[in-house]
Structure 1
Amino acid sequence: MVAPHISSPQGDPSAVAARKKELRQHCMATLKARDEALDSGILTHLHTLLRPLLPAVVAGVWPLPHEVNLCPLCHALVDAGATIVLPETPPRGEPLIFRRWTPHAPMMQGRFGTEFPDGPIVQPAIILVPLLGFDRTGNRLGYGGGYYDRTLAALPNACSVGYAPSCQELDSLPAGPYDKPLSCIVTEKEILRFD
């Protein structure tokens, strides 16, 4: 089911921020309440999408407890010839730093409960982006720190692939001047392409 549309004046940054905050609360509750058994469909679609693009440097994410777990996908992509990198969250205002991950890489504790590998910094060609919410125009709702917006702006040639359970879909999302639409979005039901 698609969440209801919450209108917002697109040109007013304070109205956009307020609407996004409201939507984040709704989407976080939906994400935590989802049937996690459906997440395997997201991993299957991601693997189908990425496999023909390998070898490539792919940025994954080590999941927080409530997020879709990409760990099995990271292992499968390494076995298929990908170089996997995971993000280190820098101080606020900076883009993400991506460090090479291997199945035996030691993991370090990062900011906001995240983990990242103790590996060299490598720039990705493909960035997997966790979503709190999304719409069918490629707009995404993140956690509000702006890390992925800054990262996608800093890596304009990277392919950005959002992923989320289909229950996170919204009729539309308010977009601010720094919001970067995604190249595609993957759910357990489908692959939506925007480029």
Structure 2
Amino acid sequence: MSDLTARKAALRAEARQLRQAAHDAARESDAAGQACRLLTGFLSGRAGQAIAGYMPIGTELDPRPAMAELARLGPVAVPVVEAPAAPLRFDLWTPETEMVAGAFGAAVPARSEPVEPDVLIVPLLAFDRAGHRLGYGGGFYDRTLARLREGRDVFAVGLAFAGQELSGLGLEPTDAPLDAVVTEREVLTF
């Protein structure tokens, strides 16, 4: 195991604890609701653009309230894992979409209607103030952003609790940067 791989594994363990603590604290407050309101306001200027959210797993901040609001302005999609080490596919989503179990415990639409997103709302374990994110280590979003950003602008915004901020994230050349991060406290742009 390389030094960077070991460092990222340690950071992921720390980040999971930070996110769990932030998630638990959010139950006693409106932190998740505030983050979704900030996200909706931030992305509402992109009316008509296809926005990809995600279906939350575990202690991820749930973007569905923001996605439901944004679906009034244009198409909203959710990711579908097609194969290991492959970029994600995105299928159309509305609050009424019938969902079924997908890979890694994330729900996916029962019927596939592919969408090519212009904006991605990205889940994460941790973020820093330079626009970097720490994911789960599968590289799905890094590969997806690399593919989508070939020849066009695709905006990536991380959604997280403020308590998920972590400095010193180990970066690799394949790590795709974020354009913004939204928390319950602020919108950071890079």
TM-score, normalised to structure 1's length?
0.89
- RMSD value, Cα: 1.3
Q: For residue 76 of structure 1, what is the amino acid of its counterpart? A: E
Shift of 1:188: 1.1
| Residues 133-180 of structure 1 deviation map (CA, whole Å, 9 limit, x = unaligned) | 011111100011100000000011210001111111112211001001
- SS of the residue 1:116 aligns to: strand
Asked if the contact 1:134/1:172 (under 8 Å) is kept, the reply is no
In structure 2, what is the equivalent of residue 167 of structure 1? 163
Alignment partner of 1:99: what SS?
Answer: strand
* Superposed counterparts of 1:105-116, under 5 Å: 105-116=97-108
State the alpha-carbon separation in 2 of the partners of residues 171 and 112 from structure 1. 27
Matched, 1:29 2:17: yes
Query: Quick check: 1:50 aligned with 2:43?
Result: yes
Q: Does 1:158 align with 2:154?
A: yes
**C-alpha separation in 2, matches of 1:59 and 1:90:** 16
In structure 1, C-alpha distance between the alignment counterparts of 2:183 and 2:89, rounded to whole Å = 26
Paired position in structure 2 for 1:183? 179
* Separation (CA, whole Å) in 1 of partners of 2:105 and 2:41: 30
Identity of aligned residues (%): 38
* Residue 84 (str. 1) matches residue 76 (str. 2): yes
Structure 2-normalised TM-score? 0.91
Counterpart for residue 188 of structure 2? 192
Distance in 2 (alpha carbons) for counterparts of 1:153 and 1:136: 21
Distance in 2 between residues matched to 1:16 and 1:123, nearest whole Å: 33
Which residue pairs with 2:86 in the alignment?
A: 94
Listed as ranges, the gaps of 5+ residues in structure 2 are none
**Is the CA contact 2:60–2:124 (under 8 Å) kept in the aligned structure 1?**
no
Letter in 2 for 1:21: A
- Which of 61, 66, 71 does residue 59 from structure 2 map onto? 66
Q: Is the 8 A contact 1:101 1:119 kept in 2?
A: no
> Is the 2:161–2:184 contact (alpha carbons within 8 Å) kept by the matching residues of 1?
yes
Does the CA-based 8 Å contact 2:124-2:159 persist in structure 1? yes
- Alignment size in residue pairs: 181
| Cα deviation, residue 78, structure 1 | 1.4
**How far is the alpha carbon of 1:127 from its aligned partner?**
0.3
Divergent runs of 4+, >2 A: none
Alignment partners' CA distance in 2, 1:190 and 1:77: 19
Matched, 1:18 2:3: no
Q: Is the 8 A contact 1:56 1:126 kept in 2?
A: yes
